[in-house]
């Protein structure tokens, strides 16, 4: 073989290897504290795909990246109500279900519920679901409000006298307008799914009363703060509060954390695995989706992050303590009081965000 031919052949080979190396990557953008500690490692070992894993703690942040385009992510995890309008904006590609044999593991009822956000479940599958409720430090709340503290009610935070008494031990709320404003509406007896800006206003007026007692608005810091006793009350996501309880128990620091789904009702939500239209590694994203829909992998995730799974065979592999906890797998009676988020159109989204900004800035 002539030297030129050999050189050309080796160049082609080098290019092919480089392309293959590039193909073996996957860029994931997921919620913080939302995966087992060994999930990524196991996936990389099984597939040889190298994962870059970034985290966020707000649907709004994820949405801004997706709508700007070229996020660089191959797999993201929007909540279903946000995903619905992102699908309309053309942000996600349809899934190739022939590459997802483990789809059969997902509960048909839950997939039916999320089909109201994604007709035919064409663009996404359920990752985990949960509720937005109240986490609190049992000792500090009892010290300040006594044994009859309304720990089963939104009154624990939205009653301004209660909030005032708990202010010194620290109150935080999620920085999530489409969750906090409806929770306040529910406490006021207004339909939490209402999209009437006048109802948002009533909720923001209620928040104005307790605002002086709120230490901060943040959607992930509360896990450690609750575990360490640095705050005593938070509105947060179910599994996060249980993680705080777990961290406190591990630290053996005398902090006892509890989670309550208020008796008035609470938001239940579904976080979805979806592939952006401009994903460069969609094939690998499909492999990851199928990997986490494996019963053992998804059970390992729930056993670590304490959020609920919609994977039927995984239920046999989830710790009994988690299955039996009504804060994670609520009874039918409690489920009947949960609401799911409406899809806010651009106008109502602006209105709810405006009220939230006014709550946070006091203007
Ligand atoms: N730490 C993980 C929290 C995941 C919460 N998902 C948010 C759902 C909001 N509707």
pLDDT, tens digit (0-9, with 9 covering 90-100), for 251-264: 999 999 999 999 99
pLDDT < 50 positions in the chain:
1-19, 21-22
Ligand 1 atom closest to Cα of residue 33: 1
Ligand 1 atom closest to Cα of residue 81: 10
Tokens of 271: 């976080």
Instruction: Report the chain's terminal Cα–Cα distance, integer Å.
Output: 79
The whole-number pLDDT of residue 9 equals 46
CB 351 within 8 A of CB 185: no
**Going by C-beta distance under 8 Å and a sequence separation of 6 or more, which residues neighbour residue 238?**
130, 131, 132, 133, 259, 261, 306, 307, 308, 327, 328
CB 224 within 8 A of CB 114: no
Question: Does the C-beta of 294 come closer than 6 Å to ligand 1?
Answer: no
Tell me the C-alpha distance between 184 and 190, whole Å: 9
The whole-number pLDDT of residue 10 equals 45
The whole-number pLDDT of residue 363 equals 83
Q: List b or e across 138-161, with b for residues whose CB sees 16 or more CB atoms inside 10 angstroms.
A: eebbeebbeeebbbebbbbbbbee
Question: Does the C-beta of 240 come closer than 6 Å to ligand 1?
Answer: yes
- Domains annotated for the chain, with CATH where assigned, are 2-130+269-329 (3.40.190.10), 131-268+340-361 (3.40.190.10)
Mutation probe of ligand 1 site: the residue of 179, 271, 307, 339 with most atoms within 8 A of C-beta:
271
Mutation probe of ligand 1 site: the residue of 60, 82, 269, 304 with most atoms within 8 A of C-beta:
269
- Model-level pTM? 0.93
In this structure, the residue with its CA closest to atom 4 of ligand 1 is: 31
- For ligand 1, the distance from its centroid to the CA atom of residue 237, given in whole angstroms, is 6
Question: Does the C-beta of 29 come closer than 6 Å to ligand 1?
Answer: no
The whole-number pLDDT of residue 300 equals 98
Question: Does the C-beta of 300 come closer than 6 Å to ligand 1?
Answer: no
- For ligand 1, the distance from its centroid to the CA atom of residue 149, given in whole angstroms, is 27
**Going by C-beta distance under 8 Å and a sequence separation of 6 or more, which residues neighbour residue 219?**
57, 58, 174, 175, 176, 236
The whole-number pLDDT of residue 11 equals 45
């Amino acid at each position: 073989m002539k030297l030129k031919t050999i050189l050309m052949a080796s160049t082609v080979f080098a290019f092919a290897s480089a392309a293959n190396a590039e193909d073996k990557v996957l860029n994931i953008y997921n919620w913080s504290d939302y995966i087992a500690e060994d999930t990524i490692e196991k996936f990389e070992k099984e597939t040889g795909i190298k994962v870059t894993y970034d985290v966020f703690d707000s649907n709004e942040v994820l949405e801004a990246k997706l709508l700007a385009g070229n996020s660089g992510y191959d797999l993201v995890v929007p909540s279903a109500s946000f995903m619905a309008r992102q699908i309309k904006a053309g942000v996600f590609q349809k899934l190739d279900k022939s590459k997802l044999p483990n789809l059969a593991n997902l509960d048909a009822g839950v997939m039916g519920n999320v089909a109201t956000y994604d007709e035919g479940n064409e663009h996404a599958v359920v990752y985990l679901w949960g509720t937005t409720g109240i986490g609190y430090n049992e000792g500090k709340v009892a010290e300040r409000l006594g044994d009859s503290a309304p720990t089963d009610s939104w009154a624990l935070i939205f009653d301004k006298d209660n909030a005032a008494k708990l202010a010194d031990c620290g109150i935080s709320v999620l920085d999530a307008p489409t969750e906090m404003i409806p929770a306040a509406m529910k406490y006021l007896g207004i339909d939490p799914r209402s999209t009437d800006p006048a109802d948002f206003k009533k909720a923001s007026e209620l928040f104005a009363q307790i605002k002086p007692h709120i230490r901060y608005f943040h959607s992930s810091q509360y896990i450690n703060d609750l575990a360490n006793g640095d705050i005593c009350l938070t509105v947060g996501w179910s599994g996060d509060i249980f993680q705080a309880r777990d961290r406190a128990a591990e630290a053996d620091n005398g902090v006892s954390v509890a989670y309550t789904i208020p008796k008035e009702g609470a938001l239940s939500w579904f976080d979805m695995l979806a592939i952006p239209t401009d994903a460069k590694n969609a094939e690998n994203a499909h492999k990851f989706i199928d990997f986490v829909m494996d019963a053992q992998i998804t059970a390992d995730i729930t056993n670590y992050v304490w959020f609920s799974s919609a994977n039927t065979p995984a239920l046999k592999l989830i710790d009994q303590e988690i299955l039996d906890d009504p804060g994670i797998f609520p009874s039918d009676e409690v489920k009947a009081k949960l609401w799911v988020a409406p899809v806010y159109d651009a106008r109502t989204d602006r209105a709810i965000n405006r009220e939230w900004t006014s709550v946070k800035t006091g203007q």
